[in-house]
Amino acid sequence: MTLHAGQARSQIKPGLLVDIVLKQDQRSGKTTRGIVRDILTNSPTHPHGIKVRLQDGQVGRVKAIIGSGPDQH
């Protein structure tokens, strides 16, 4: 099984800039960009993406890892 970006918990860290799909956007696939505050998925991998909470409080599954946030160098 090949994992895609956002499916492995080890790839996700607080402070990372990511694109997530919110629960209400799952049908359309619309993504929301933000910085990870908390990792909510406990398992090491998830086929639909690791669930995270962004710094603004929104919760969704990671679809793409953009890079480090503005305060991470």
pLDDT(71) > 70: no
What's residue 36's pLDDT? 97
- 8: DSSP letter: B
Rounded CA gap, 66 and 37, in Å? 15
- Least Cα distance to 50 among 4, 6, 16 occurs for 6
Please count the residues of the chain. 73
64 forms beta bridges with 19
pTM of the prediction? 0.87
List the structure tokens of 62.
Answer: 């990671």
* pLDDT tens digit sequence for 4-52: 778 999 999 999 999 999 999 999 999 999 999 999 999 999 999 999 9
pLDDT(1) > 90: no
Rounded CA gap, 73 and 62, in Å? 21
Domain annotation for the chain: domains and CATH numbers: 9-68 (2.30.30)
